[in-house]
Amino acid sequence: MDSFFLYAAVVLTAIIAIPAYRVVKGPTVFDRLVGTNAIATKTIVLICLIGYVFGRIDMFIDITLAYAILGFIGSLTIAKYFSSEKINVRYDD
C-alpha cells in the first residue's frame, strides 16, 4: 500500500507540471492566475499523499490545512487587486 501511494504521488507530480505551461505562456494575467490556482489545489492533494508515503500524516495534515487557507486568501486578494485594471486582450486565433 505504501508503494501505491508513492506511485500516485509520482503521477500527481507529473500532472502538476502540466498547468505550469499555462502559467508561463498565458495571454492575460488571469490565465496565469488560473494556472497558479490549479497548481495550488493539486499541491494540497500531493502533500496529503506525501504524508502517507513518509508515514507521518499527523504532521503533514496541519501543513496541508495551512497551505489551503493561505492559497485561498492569496487567490482572493490577487483577484481583488487585479479587478481594477483595464486590459485589452482578445483571443483572436
CB nearer to another protein: give 54 or 91.
Answer: 91
- Pairwise CA distance, residues 57 & 49, whole Å: 9
- Pairwise CA distance, residues 19 & 83, whole Å: 23
- Pairwise CA distance, residues 60 & 38, whole Å: 20
In the set 2, 11, 55, 70, which binds another protein (CB under 8 A)?
Answer: 11
Q: Which three cell numbers stand for residue 77?
A: 486578494
In the set 2, 54, 69, 70, which binds another protein (CB under 8 A)?
Answer: 69
In the set 35, 54, 55, 70, which binds another protein (CB under 8 A)?
Answer: 35
Q: Is 91 exposed, middle or buried (0-12, 13-18, 19+ CB in 10 A)?
A: exposed
**Site residues for another protein, window 74-93 (CB under 8 A)?**
75-76, 79-80, 82-92
Regarding 6 and contact with another protein (CB under 8 A), the answer is: no
Q: Shortest distance, CB of residue 65 to another protein, whole angstroms?
A: 6
Q: Which three cell numbers stand for residue 52?
A: 502517507
Regarding 66 and contact with another protein (CB under 8 A), the answer is: no
